[in-house]
């Protein structure tokens, strides 16, 4: 219910069939190195009954590394998911 940087996300996104009913995030996939991605995943959200100016959807875009360490070293592996961008959409405007 807040857009502050330390606020928690609402559990209003329907989860996968084997998981909990509601969750705070969902993922969509895209083909590896696709220059013009098309997203086919559907994400269902149960919006709060009383919306206000601070409700929004936050999208985080990740680069997912497909590199596999084949050198056999025990060196710490780099992070698989690296955030590369963010976007948000307000749910209520001039409310």
CA 28/CA 21 separation, integer angstroms: 18
**What is the total count of domains within the chain?**
1
User: Per-residue confidence of the chain (95 residues) as pLDDT tens digits?
Assistant: 677 878 889 999 999 888 889 999 999 888 777 888 888 889 999 999 999 888 999 999 988 887 766 665 555 556 688 999 999 999 988 86
Phi-psi region of 7 (alpha: psi -120 to 50; beta: other; left: phi over 0): beta
Structure tokens at 34: 């696709």
What pLDDT digit, counting tens, does each position of 59-84 carry? 999 888 877 666 655 555 566 889 99
- Residue 74: which domain range? 1-94
CA distances from 85 to 3, 12, 20, 33, 88 (A): 18, 23, 27, 16, 11
């Amino acid at each position: 219910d807040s857009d502050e940087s330390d606020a928690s996300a609402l559990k209003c996104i329907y989860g996968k069939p084997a998981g909990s009913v509601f969750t705070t995030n969902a993922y969509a996939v895209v083909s590896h190195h696709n220059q013009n991605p098309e997203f086919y995943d559907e994400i269902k959200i149960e919006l709060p009954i009383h919306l206000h100016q601070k409700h929004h959807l936050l999208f985080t875009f990740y680069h997912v590394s497909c590199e596999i360490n084949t050198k056999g070293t025990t060196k710490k592996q780099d992070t698989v998911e690296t955030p590369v961008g963010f976007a948000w959409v307000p749910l209520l405007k001039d409310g």
